[in-house]
């Protein structure tokens, strides 16, 4: 398989774009080699500029639940484009999609659209701070909530668990109100509440997709809800990645735990740039122009994105049983690869939730970021590179989740498992 054109394109891009990419993980730093440059997508497949074809288990990092170039979504976008690209003014499409989104979630009365997941989370936290009139927030190590300053944190050295900036360019003053807890560890969360009586909210990915797929234990979430209530803090579920992927009715329908605010993205844009945050009316009415918490955006509620999102969600609503099919395919995929890995003496941990899947080359199950960090990174990089050679495109980081689309058939899953068997044998014999 030749990737010479992609290599040339990457070199040219590096001269004009930092790192040659517009989002760091795309540079293949953690898996080695040169990133493929995509020419197009069709159904389950990606094609690169060298003419290679891959079964795509990334699906644009989640939003393409019906695969590339779904006819109904594409038609909705084309029709919307005929009326204009952007207006910066209200359209019926916004209310139409808002009504549909609200219908899926018991905990959402009103929703506001933005243009990215980062923007949705940033706005949700500001809203929580405005509603509670408090400053501190709690997040969990290994959960990613976008690149806003207050959330780019790493563990501090003090017992109070306050975070330090994890990126240059983020002043310490911007993260001094961010406390860090350990995922699935209620004691670490209790320490945060003991350290501060000024906590506005706790934000969590109830189904984490940015340390690989790791699910929060139900008992942990129940105690998290209880602690928030006891301390007057709001609970934010970040479902930018898991929303409509893990379940069409959100993590609350899986866990029985009801958040105060939910952030969304990915699927609700059908492949277009969209984010959203929603909550009960009492909270959402704090937003400008009704309330004192300011948030705005010229491209928020963009009519093309609204059309794509409505087409995707309405199709999913009409075909809700497809989630069970996708979950079964995801289980077949990872369990099949796990079996092949085991036959070669390779330890592999797997997990599935809805149409999301994850795998780790670990000895034991992964419950938090410390566990995820014990993954054999070198083995993952080899597996990724060799599977790419065989025509299977997995996320280019061991800390990312994979996705099944309706375009990926049972036969493709079997082909992937057979390819993994070949690769595991090749790795073991090196």
Please name the helix (run of DSSP H) or strand (run of DSSP E) that holds residue 207, with its range, or none: strand 207-208
* Res. 159: pLDDT tops 50: no
Model confidence over 177-236: pLDDT tens digits? Answer: 999 999 999 999 999 999 999 999 999 999 999 999 999 999 999 999 999 999 999 999
Q: Indicate the pLDDT class of residue 153, thresholds 50, 70 and 90.
A: confident
> Which pLDDT score is estimated for 160?
40
Is 185 an active-site residue? no
Per residue, the 3-state secondary structure of 229-276, as one string, reads HHHCCEEEEEECCCECCCECCCHHHHHCCCCCEEEEEHHHHECECCEE
The residue with tokens 């010479």 is 4
Catalytic residue among 48, 56, 136, 238: 238
In terms of pLDDT, which residue wins out, 150 or 329? Answer: 329
Quote the mean pLDDT of the chain.
94
Query: What average pLDDT score do residues 28-48 get?
Result: 95
> Which pLDDT score is estimated for 155?
55
Model confidence over 334-368: pLDDT tens digits? Answer: 999 999 999 999 999 999 999 999 999 999 999 99
38-42 β-sheet, strand order = 38-42, 45-48, 53-56, 392-393
Q: How many alpha carbons fall within 13 Å on the CB side of residue 176?
A: 4
Q: Indicate the pLDDT class of residue 35, thresholds 50, 70 and 90.
A: very high
Please say whether the dihedral angle defined by the alpha carbons of residues 140, 142, 148 and 152, taken in this order, is positive or negative.
positive
* pTM across the whole model: 0.95
Q: How many CB atoms lie within 10 A of CB 81?
A: 12
> Which pLDDT score is estimated for 163?
63
User: Domains, the chain, ranges and CATH?
Assistant: 4-69+321-428 (3.90.1150.10), 71-318 (3.40.640.10)
Query: What average pLDDT score do residues 161-179 get?
Result: 79
Is 135 an active-site residue? no
In a 10 Å sphere around its CB, with 0-12 CB exposed, 13-18 middle and 19+ buried, how is residue 7 labelled?
middle
Catalytic residue among 266, 310, 382, 399: 266
Longest pairwise C-alpha distance within the chain: 65
Which residues make beta-bridge pairs with 263? 238, 277
In the DSSP assignment, the letter for residue 278 is: E
Catalytic residue among 56, 136, 139, 144: 144
């Amino acid at each position: 398989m030749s990737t010479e054109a992609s290599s040339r394109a990457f070199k040219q891009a590096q001269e004009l774009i930092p790192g040659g990419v517009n989002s760091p993980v795309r540079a293949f730093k953690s898996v080695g080699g040169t990133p493929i440059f995509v020419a197009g997508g069709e159904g389950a497949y990606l094609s690169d500029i060298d003419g290679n074809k891959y079964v795509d288990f990334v699906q644009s990092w989640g939003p393409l639940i019906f695969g590339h170039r779904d006819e109904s979504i594409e038609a909705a976008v084309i029709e919307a484009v005929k009326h204009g690209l952007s207006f910066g003014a209200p359209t019926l499409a916004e209310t139409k999609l808002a009504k549909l989104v609200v219908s899926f979630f018991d905990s959402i009365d009103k929703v506001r659209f933005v243009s990215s997941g980062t923007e949705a989370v940033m706005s949700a936290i500001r809203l929580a701070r405005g509603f509670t009139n408090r400053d501190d927030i709690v997040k969990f190590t290994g959960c990613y909530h976008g690149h806003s300053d207050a959330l780019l944190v790493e563990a501090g050295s003090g017992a109070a668990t306050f975070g330090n900036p994890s990126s240059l360019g983020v002043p310490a003053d911007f993260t001094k109100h961010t406390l860090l807890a350990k995922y699935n560890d209620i004691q670490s969360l209790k320490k945060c509440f003991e350290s501060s009586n000024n906590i506005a909210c706790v934000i969590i990915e109830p189904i984490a997709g940015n340390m690989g797929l790791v699910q929060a234990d139900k008992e942990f979430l129940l105690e998290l809800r209880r602690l928030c209530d006891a301390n007057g803090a709001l609970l934010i579920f970040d479902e930018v990645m898991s929303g409509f992927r893990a379940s069409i009715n959100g993590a609350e329908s899986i866990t029985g735990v009801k958040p105060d605010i939910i952030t969304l993205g990915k699927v609700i844009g059908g492949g277009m740039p969209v984010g959203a945050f929603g909550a009960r009316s009492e909270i959402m009415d704090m937003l400008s122009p009704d309330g004192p918490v300011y948030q705005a955006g010229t491209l928020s509620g963009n009519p093309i994105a609204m059309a794509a999102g409505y087409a995707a969600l309405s199709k999913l609503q009409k075909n809700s049983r497809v989630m069970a099919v996708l979950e079964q395919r995801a289980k077949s995929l990872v369990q099949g690869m796990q079996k092949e890995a085991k036959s070669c003496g390779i330890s592999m941990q797997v997990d599935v939730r809805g149409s999301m899947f994850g795998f780790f080359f670990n000895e034991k199950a992964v419950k938090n970021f410390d566990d995820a960090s014990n993954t054999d990174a070198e083995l993952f990089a080899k597996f990724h590179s060799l599977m790419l050679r065989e025509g299977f495109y997995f996320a280019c980081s061991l800390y990312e989740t994979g996705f099944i689309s309706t375009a990926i058939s049972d036969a493709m899953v079997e082909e992937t498992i057979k390819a993994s068997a070949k690769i595991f044998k090749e790795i073991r014999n090196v």
